[in-house]
Amino acid sequence: MCAIGTANPPHRIPQLQIADFMASALELDEKGTRKLRALYRVSGIGQRYSVLPDYARANGEFEFFPNTPGLEPFPSVGQRMAEYRRHALPLSVAAVRACLEQLPEVDYASITHLITVSCTGMYAPGLDIELVGALGLSGHVQRTCVNFMGCYAAVNGLKLADAFCRATPGARVLVVCTELCTLHFQKSQQDDHLVSNALFGDGAAAALVQSAPAPARPSLALTAFHCGLEPDGHADMAWHINDFGFEMTLSSYVPRMIQQGIGQLTHRLLADLPVRLADIRAFAIHPGGRKILESIEQALGLTTHDNRYAYQVLRDYGNMSSATVLFVLRDLLAGFTAADAGAPVLSFAFGPGLTLEAMLLTVAVGEGKQVAQVASMKSAAPAPALVA
């Protein structure tokens, strides 16, 4: 992984301003409004981004939601998907350009594979085909879509990219995660919906993965992956398409379940590698919420400083589903220098299932020296792909 670029829509809205919109939309009384604002204050989120300006307009004059009491008729799935199609392409293009401008040696026409990742919208011909035209990619680029897997889907996108690069050493794989979560606001006072309305924002992230590191800057080698399932959490984190948008189930038990499973997940990831948890000083954890980050710290003995990049992304953007862990990796990668060559990075992401994904990355610098070093971790396996 040689470079990571990100993009957000133009509407940056303070968290408590969103709380005011929600209280008005849900027609809460004074007591309910106080409770809702308290939930938003303790979320660890300072602001979020949305393709919709409405969340900054608690008193009406909405562009997407009806300017009526109770926002009726509430927008349908079709209306929300029309907004997704309108906004997903320009946001994705901005993220790709932010990625590839870091690598002037990479020509758009040299991209061999395109992987698009999203769980917040879909259409066909889809975002993948539109990106080919908008970016000037080759019409022969191999396209793969990872849809509706939730917050951990970026890891599956990177797994695919790694497999493509191992199979074809000259491959250049562009992974694009685009999520417009705020299109799916649910006008419901159920606890699950109150929590999800308080967490999710919009954003896109793009990563370039190839077999060799970038020539003059640190890259991240994709060293190992491991997936775990917690079947007891099957009903506690879920994502369904209903008549009025996509509905998230996110129960208060999720942090506890992740806390119970994260130690075994880490053990299995590292079992066949010459790396132990005590050797790792860099962490890129998907900030699904403040309590999730705190639960992982307790389970693995981490500090808030170890987790600082995740907290910063949560504060500045909220949870952007699949794109979020790439925002964390972007900040982590930006701080590495040649002196960090060989340093391991542990990353986690979580989603419906309850699915727990883990990956080990390694800082790589130069024209192949560190690639060989990383490859030795996997015995005779092919050299790992790198996020440039």
Mind giving me the DSSP string for 278-340? GG--EEEE--S-HHHHHHHHHHHT--TTTTHHHHHHHHHH-B-GGGHHHHHHHHHHHT--GGG
Q: SS3 of 6, please?
A: strand
| 308, 313, 319, 323 alpha-carbon torsion, rounded to 10° | -110
Rounded distance between C-alpha atoms, residue 162 and residue 298, angstroms:
31
Selected residue with higher pLDDT from 236 and 184: 184
Active site residue 181: no
Q: What is the mean pLDDT of residues 197-218?
A: 93
For the chain, the residue count is: 388
Q: Do domains 3-210 and 219-379 have the same CATH topology?
A: yes
Report pLDDT digits (tens) over 30-74: 999 999 999 999 999 999 999 999 999 866 689 999 998 889 999
Amino acid at 337: T
pLDDT tens per residue across span 110-160: 999 999 999 999 999 999 999 999 999 999 999 999 999 989 999 999 999
Average pLDDT of the chain is 89
Give the pLDDT band of residue 256 (cuts 50, 70, 90): confident
Tell me if 285 sits within 8 A of 310, measured CB to CB: yes
Kindly indicate the confidence band of residue 322, based on its pLDDT and cuts at 50, 70 and 90. very high
Q: In this predicted model, which residue has the larger pLDDT, 284 or 214?
A: 284
Q: What is the architecture, at CATH level 2, of domain 3-210? A: 3-Layer(aba) Sandwich (3.40)
What is the Cα 198 distance to its own chain's centre?
17
Q: What is residue 252's predicted lDDT score, i.e. its pLDDT?
A: 57
- Is the pLDDT reported for residue 253 higher than 70? no
Confidence of residue 376 (pLDDT cuts 50, 70, 90): very low
Q: How would residue 355 be classed by pLDDT, with cut points 50, 70 and 90?
A: confident
Q: Assess whether the previous peptide bond of 332 is cis (omega < 30° from 0).
A: no
Q: CATH: 3.40.630.10, 3.40.50.2000, 3.40.47.10, 3.40.50.300. Which one for 219-379?
A: 3.40.47.10
Share of the chain above pLDDT 70, in %: 90
Question: pLDDT digits over 329-348, tens only?
Answer: 999 999 999 999 999 999 99
Exactly one of 2, 151, 177, 181 is catalytic; name it: 151
The stretches of the chain forming alpha helices (DSSP H) are 15-25, 30-41, 77-100, 127-135, 153-167, 191-199, 254-270, 290-300, 308-317, 324-334, 369-375
Domain boundaries, the chain: 3-210, 219-379
